[in-house]
Amino acid sequence: MRKRRLKIGRYLLLLMLLAGIGLAFRQGLVPARYSPLPALDLERPLPLIVDWQLAELRFDAKLCSRVLVPPHIESVPIRDNPLNKGCGWINSVRVSSVGGARLPVDKLSCPAAAALSLWMVHQVQPLAQSMFGQRVKSLEHMGTYSCRNIVGNAFWKNKRSEHATANAIDISAFTLEDGKRISVLKDWRGQTPEAEFLRLVHAGACNYFRVALSPEFNRAHRDHFHLDRGILSTCK
């Protein structure tokens, strides 16, 4: 009986160790130089480990500069603004375009910028080309960095938003090459090609962002997609 308890104890200890290692990778706490994972390639993401590859960018500015490269994204690093009362940013960039589409963004964390690029290159642009015969020319957003708590959810109202660390972006519209504008607010509902496009690109965002919220989540998101690389995992 004692041997059995010792055996069970060893298994539990091993499971706890593996869970701790998995959490460390998920949170980007394992430096890339010590990681057995291949570095993220925006051209060829590896679906089974892309979340951990993105997490490796969290604190590694050198790796970030090697990963965030044209033509997939045009960006420049910005000076850190260390956290103060839950607000600030580290290892972040200023973005001018992603996936060939214009997107002026002042502050965005490296993992969120990489996820945004992957989404545009591998989800949004192929869908736009197949559904409308043209690519997305530009994106509209409603902000990245904002020192504030989560809004629209009473349970989380006292928790800092991922926007408070520049780890989130709110996408509100897509403009195609012919000037056609597809708006989350105006086009999400219904059975139109525009509505189908929005539903598909939202679903595609869940492959790279941990949280991807649409107008289905709550009224606070009726006019945009909230996309972030935080701790939680929600796709709705």
Average pLDDT over residues 126-134: 98
For position 205, what pLDDT does the model report? 98
Query: What does the domain layout of the chain look like in residue ranges?
Result: 71-235
Q: What is the pLDDT of residues 143-163, one digit of tens each?
A: 999 999 987 666 666 789 999
Average confidence (pLDDT) over 59-78: 97
- Kindly report the average pLDDT of the chain as a whole number: 90
Q: Residue 128 burial by CB count (10 A; 0-12/13-18/19+): exposed, middle or buried?
A: buried
Q: What is the pTM of this model?
A: 0.90
pLDDT at 177: 98
Work out the angle between the directed axes of helices 125-132 and 193-205 (0-180°, nearest 10): 160
pLDDT tens digit sequence for 57-67: 999 999 999 99
| pLDDT given for residue 13 in this prediction | 57
Please calculate the CA angle 131-43-24 and round it to the nearest 5 degrees.
Answer: 115
Digit-coded pLDDT (tens) for 158-183: 789 999 999 999 999 999 999 999 99
Pair of tokens at residue 1 = 């009986």
